[in-house]
Structure 1
Amino acid sequence: MESNHIISIGLPISLVIIMIGIGMTLTLNDFRQITRKPKGLILGSVSQIVGMPIIAVVLAKVFDLSPEMAVGLVIIAACPGGTASNLFVLLSRGNVALSIMLTVIASLITIATLPLATGYAMSLFSTSSVNIELPVEKMVAMMVGVVLIPVMVGMILRTFWPRWAIKAEKGVSKLGGITLVLLVASILYDIGGNLLQLIIQAGAAAISLNIIGVALGIFTAKYCRLPKEDGLTIGVELGVKNSTLALMVSMTILSSETMSIPIIVYSVSMFICAFVITVFGRRSKASSITSANMV
């Protein structure tokens, strides 16, 4: 199945818009605040960059996914959190500054680690009948062009035109979300009659990855004695991924709609899971405030 022009052009444009939006939420002071207490940032980043891809590899083997779907699962696992994660953390009364920092740090690190994780998955799952090759130079160049540079542009806009950037960031995030919905609809249309069968094959693994990722963030933070808000934040960051970036890798760079199926299923699952976390976080915060007032 060939990628159409909407996918090949729309995905990179959508991702650039989203990453500029992330950059416009940041100031240098945000970096200073988090680096003073870096435990949550370190824990979340390591879990995101190392833990999630390992879990994806295990799940791909447990659920016996086809080579292309297995690679797709690892791709979404190796992606950083998306802009939606920051919104869900805000709504769930988590640590917004930590959420933004985890999103940006992971986005920058994945310029190097995402090609590595994707290449490893390809070598691990490829068979003689399915030969998948990774264009490393093209992937790294595109990551720099659609992740690193747009984030820097967003930060520059926030530094020199802060009022405009704060207003524009909301619109940028909405535009990125709308574009993502249109791109997913285009992929689903191209897949057509094979959609249900592919979702059945990849659904359990993708949903399991989402739930395990959230649990990993919450419980490891609790084990490390981080505040409940930080644990919730890390859980959201591990669960809510930058699906646009994952789709760009699978569709634009690797030209595989089959790889995109686990990514799409994961995208649906992550919003449902994030909604549940939001409800839990708000209720937990309300209970804590009530208890404090009673004391």
Structure 2
Amino acid sequence: MESGPLISIGLPLSLFIIMVGIGMTLTLRDFHQVTVNPRGMVVGTIAQIMLMPLVALGLAWMLGLAPAIAVGLVIIAACPGGTTSNLFVLLARGNVALSILLTVTASLITILTLPFFTNYALQLHFGSGAEISLPVGKTIVMLVGVVLLPVALGMIVRTRAPALAIRAEKLVSLFGGLVLAVLILGLLYGIRDRIGELAAQAGLAALLLNVGGIVVGIVTSRLAGLSQRESLSVAMELGIKNGTIALMVTLTLLESSEMSIPAAVYGVLMFPIGFLLVSYGRKVVSRVPAAQADVA
């Protein structure tokens, strides 16, 4: 599944539409709530953009991953939470507003941190003289175009036509899931002759990254004094990643199907694990009233 018109044009366009959907879930009031009590945002954002890539680097070293697989693992770890995480948080009875804002905030900061961690991983695993590198300027421009601008556009739509935004938001979320599914299936078909070998290389790493992210989210949140609902939101944001961004970077900028394998495998594994977290959240949060859960 090498870079072609469908990937180089279709993938960024699809991501643009998905990010418009995220923007449609936001209002200025949401940002005001964060300024009143920013602790959840601070903890969740740092965990997403800093701790997760470090966990991926540690896993790549401990498991002795092949260079391309190791870089791909760092890329998916450095990606923000996806739109699907907001739905999972809702199902788990977590703090949906916090989840949405964490998705947007991390997506915006990723514009700077994703190129940094990607190039660091490339130099670490391929050497400073490697021909493969992520063009920082081009990456920032692309991420601004498919993250910052569409989120702002979505917020404008939400402000001027809230009823339309609510209806469109559901369709965009469905579209995002379909895009990711098609990309994963296409990628797996393109490497079908090596799927067993590559799954063996990336499967355990992707699983450990996913579970590790959820554990990091819950532990750091509780240590910071966040409520159960807030902790669930942070954990879900770390576990449910925006695999579309990872595939865009690996397939369109790095033009490497092999580096895309961790994102594809992660994209498959995060759903069943996410539903397990949903089950856990519904059991834990349902034991106490919502008002108490927010201060537990």
Give the TM-score normalised by structure 2.
0.95
Q: How does 1:10-25 map to 2 (within 5 A)?
A: 10-25=10-25
Distance 1:175-1:266 versus aligned 2 partners, 3 A rule: same
| Structure 1 runs, 4 residues or longer, greater than 6 Å off | none
Classify the secondary structure of the residue corresponding to 1:288: coil
1:183 counterpart residue number: 183
Q: How does 1:35-54 map to 2 (within 5 A)?
A: 35-54=35-54
Classify the secondary structure of the residue corresponding to 1:287: coil
1:281 aligns with 2:278: no
Deviates more, 1:6-15 or 1:207-216: 6-15
Q: How does 1:1-295 map to 2 (within 5 A)?
A: 2-127=2-127, 131-289=131-289
Matching residue's letter, 2:21:
G
- Structure 2 residues not aligned, in runs of 5+: none
CA distance in 1, matches of 2:240, 2:54: 17
Deviation at 1:156, TM superposition (A): 0.8
Matching residue's letter, 1:22:
I
Matching residue's letter, 1:16:
F
Matching residue's letter, 1:3:
S
1:14 and 1:180 in contact (8 A); partners too: no
CA distance in 2, matches of 1:110, 1:286: 34
Distance 1:64-1:131 versus aligned 2 partners, 3 A rule: farther
Deviation at 1:287, TM superposition (A): 2.2
Matching residue's letter, 2:220:
T
Give the TM-score normalised by structure 1.
0.95
CA distance in 1, matches of 2:129, 2:194: 20
1:56 and 1:74 in contact (8 A); partners too: yes
Residue correspondences, number: 291
1:79 and 1:114 in contact (8 A); partners too: yes
Q: Over aligned residue pairs, what C-alpha RMSD do you find?
A: 1.6
2:34 and 2:41 in contact (8 A); partners too: yes
Deviation at 1:225, TM superposition (A): 1.6
- Structure 1 residues not aligned, in runs of 5+: none
1:10 and 1:179 in contact (8 A); partners too: no
Classify the secondary structure of the residue corresponding to 1:25: coil
Summarize deviations over 1:136-155 as a string: whole Å, max 9, x none: 22111110111111111101
Using the aligned pairs only, state the percent identity: 54
1:95 and 1:229 in contact (8 A); partners too: yes
Summarize deviations over 1:225-248 as a string: whole Å, max 9, x none: 211111111000011000000100
1:10 and 1:183 in contact (8 A); partners too: no
Classify the secondary structure of the residue corresponding to 2:191: helix
Matching residue's letter, 2:212:
I
Matching residue's letter, 1:250:
T
